[in-house]
Amino acid sequence: MNAKIKQRYPLTHYVNCYAHQLNLIMSQAASANAQVRVFFGDLKDIPRFFNNSRQRVEVMNRIVRKKFSKEQQLKGILIFEEQM
């Protein structure tokens, strides 16, 4: 990719994306452990569980509103949006 960018824009300076590299390293490390693979597999299913049911989303929103202050919700600590 660097070569393609340099070819089109010769004065640019390439900067590695360390977040991407870290993500690749963490993904590779996590995939080596069966328990971690299962954990992240299950974790991915949580949004699907809620998004497949308006009633579940409403229950989760009620719990979040009770448990967390408006300030915490707005800071992004726990915000559940209805996407249905």
Q: Is residue 80 part of a domain?
A: no
Specify whether the CB–CB gap between 53 and 82 falls below 8 A. Answer: no
Closest CA to 17 of 33, 5, 35: 5
User: Three-state DSSP class for 27?
Assistant: helix
Residue 74: which residues within 8 A CB-CB, separation 6 or more? Answer: none
For 67, the domain range is 2-74
Alpha-carbon distance of 81 to 3, in angstroms, equals 41
Q: Is residue 81 part of a domain?
A: no
Report whether pLDDT(82) > 70. no
Which has the higher per-residue pLDDT, 69 or 75?
69
Q: How many domains does the chain have?
A: 1
Task: Band the pLDDT of 55: cuts 50, 70, 90.
Answer: very high
Q: Is residue 83 part of a domain?
A: no
Q: Is residue 66 part of a domain?
A: yes
- For residue range 6-41, list pLDDT tens digits in order: 888 888 877 777 888 888 888 888 888 889 888 888
Q: Is residue 79 part of a domain?
A: no
Specify whether the CB–CB gap between 60 and 67 falls below 8 A. Answer: no
